[in-house]
Amino acid sequence: MRDADGAVVGAYLAYYSQQPVDGRLERFCNLGAWCVLPDHRAQGVRLLTRLLGQEGYHFTDFSPSGNVVELNRRLKFVDLDTTTDLLANAPLPARPGAAQVSADPDTLLGSLSPDELALYRDHRRAAAARHLVVRTPREHCYVVFRRDTRKRVRAFGSVLHVSNPELFRAEAGRVATHLLTRHGIAATLVERRVSGGPLRRATALSRPRPKMFRSPSLAPEQVHYLYSELTCLAW
């Protein structure tokens, strides 16, 4: 957005992607940072309405704050269920037959399915995305997480994607051990819509952060956190 003299006085960052949904490609616009100079705040909503005026897109907002949440609701955004478990990371002893957790690129490339490999290759250089594979002799789970700051403490890991929710829930303790010992992350945050259910020995947050979407056709379970600012922007 520019003023009468042509100076930039506002901007709304957006991330665009095409994502497979039930065998078809759908177009997404993920809303990111929204910044307007104080003297022009009254006109700032025009940036959002211009974005939402684009036809053929599903819109997501995974970090709305303050008054943006209520504004989004007035603009027909729907709240996702972000019920979140907090798991304190603690080291588990190694034992024969235990699931193995690895961030080694060669191990990932040799373990993932073709669909998982496509996701991995799309996100392997994303600034905030970190990648793991959990393996047992019979199955595996591809995990994408980011490092997060809560209350000015950068000691949290937020899980954004799991390809095998049942295995992830069963082996969440092993993932937590890896995050603690390899990344110095003290606690893991996992939304139940990502993990498929509650985690053992975890505590549900009393006030999980809101996430929202607006779509003419998609259900909440068809919306995920890849291809968004959560994977592209570290904070």
**Cα separation, 59 vs 213, whole angstroms:** 6
Amino acid at 194: V
For residue 51, give both structure tokens: 């974005």
The full set of domain ranges for the chain reads 10-82+210-232, 84-204
DSSP string, 193-209: HHHSSPPTT-EE-SSPP
Strand order across the 58-61 sheet = 10-21, 24-36, 58-61, 212-214, 78-79
> Is the pLDDT at 8 greater than 80, yes or no?
no
- Using 50, 70 and 90 to split pLDDT, how confident is the model at 17? very high
**Cα separation, 173 vs 134, whole angstroms:** 11
> Is the pLDDT at 20 greater than 80, yes or no?
yes
Please report the pLDDT score of residue 39 as a whole number. 73
Please report the pLDDT score of residue 5 as a whole number. 61
Please report the pLDDT score of residue 36 as a whole number. 83
* Average pLDDT over every residue of 6-13: 78
Fold annotation for 84-204: Aminopeptidase (3.40.630)
Measuring CA to CA, which residue among 150, 229, 217, 225 is closest to residue 195? 225
**Cα separation, 216 vs 100, whole angstroms:** 41
Please report the pLDDT score of residue 189 as a whole number. 98
User: How is residue 9 annotated by DSSP?
Assistant: -
Instruction: Give residue-wise pLDDT tens across range 89-147.
Output: 999 988 888 899 999 999 999 999 999 999 999 999 999 999 999 999 999 999 999 99
Q: Are 39 and 31 in contact (CB under 8 A)?
A: no
Please report the pLDDT score of residue 6 as a whole number. 62
Instruction: Give residue-wise pLDDT tens across range 53-78.
Output: 999 999 999 999 888 999 999 999 99
Mean pLDDT of all residues belonging to the chain: 94
